[in-house]
Amino acid sequence: MTPRVAGNSLALLRVMLENESALTEEQRAATGRTARQLLAFAWDQANRNSWLVTNSLRSVCQTFGTDPEASAALLRRAVEPNHLTKFGYEEMRWITRELRSISTYDPVFVADVYSAVFSHEEVSTDPTDMSRSRILLLTSNKKQDYDHAKWELSECYFHFVETTPLIAAKAMLDVAGSYRRRDNSSQSQPEYFDFNGAKVGIIPDYSYLWMESFSSQNDDEVKILNAFFKKLEKLANDESRAREVDEIVRMLAGGVRPAIVWRRLLQLGTRHPQSVGTQLRTLACAAPCMGSGY
């Protein structure tokens, strides 16, 4: 394959995907294979063609359901740390805008996207071309483009946690951890304690300050954390979901967590003393959780 052949093939593929509803299952499967081949080819070129990469990426995301395993395996290259640092500002928005549909097929991959994207902080303000037009030039910058992908993830999270709360909980923990590391308390060391026979830990994050700050409520990470605990509260109010709530709480309380996670669990336990509260009763006696600086 040559870049010219790839470009012509991609142009035809995009036309087909614009009329996806008219395709047969066999034709849809073929579009998925073609999209993956084009993306692999585009990524392997020494001279990067942004149009070829981004439109191939869109096509793989759009045809994800034709072969979820192969699609996820290929797309994981986009969230590898080195690749994300170099091209995340350009590529991530094309993935994040399709995650709602992708989560139907592979919620674990979606959780990994949350973890990877929020673990990286784009600081470059180098300009980027929004319009790709020679007539009307519209510019953005790398940080704005990458942060838009984070915003997309915070918006998508409401659907993600609604459909797969346990997997979404794991994503929330990684997002909360990344948010803590950005804070000036990032050098704080964990304090360990015994909880239900296991050694767990709390990492001071001074969340009593930023969780009560109006400005922090618009941060994408805080929106994700709030959306998760709102869903957990809803589950706790539903007796038929008690086993699911127990599994989620055990997972949340099963390791070294930022203080905000323990704080929100304690608050949940006080509102549901006969269910969640019973599971967390030893937490209320753990000295590190009572620290005023958390």
Q: Which residues contact 135 (CB under 8 A, 6 or more apart)?
A: none
List the chain pLDDT tens, one digit each, 294 residues: 898 999 999 999 999 999 888 899 999 999 999 999 999 999 999 999 999 999 999 999 999 999 999 999 999 999 999 999 999 999 999 999 999 999 999 999 999 999 999 999 999 988 887 656 555 566 789 999 999 999 999 999 999 999 999 999 999 999 988 887 776 555 678 888 888 888 888 887 776 565 655 446 678 999 999 999 999 999 999 989 999 999 999 999 988 988 889 889 989 988 998 888 888 877 767 666 666 455
Write the DSSP symbol of residue 190. P
Does 18 map to a domain?
A: no
**Is there a contact between 62 and 35 (Cβ–Cβ < 8 Å)?**
yes
Does the global pTM surpass 0.85? yes
Does 106 map to a domain?
A: no
Structural tokens at position 30: 């073929």
Count Cβ atoms within 10 A of the Cβ of residue 2 and give its class: 0-12 exposed, 13-18 middle, 19 or more buried.
exposed
Instruction: Tell me if residue 201 falls in helix, strand or coil.
Output: strand
* Crossing angle between the packed helical segments 3-18 and 50-62, to the nearest 10 degrees: 40
Does 169 map to a domain?
A: yes
| Segments forming the whole domain that contains residue 191 | 165-294
Number of compact structural domains in the chain: 1
Does 19 map to a domain?
A: no
Does 86 map to a domain?
A: no
Does 206 map to a domain?
A: yes
Does 51 map to a domain?
A: no
Does 137 map to a domain?
A: no
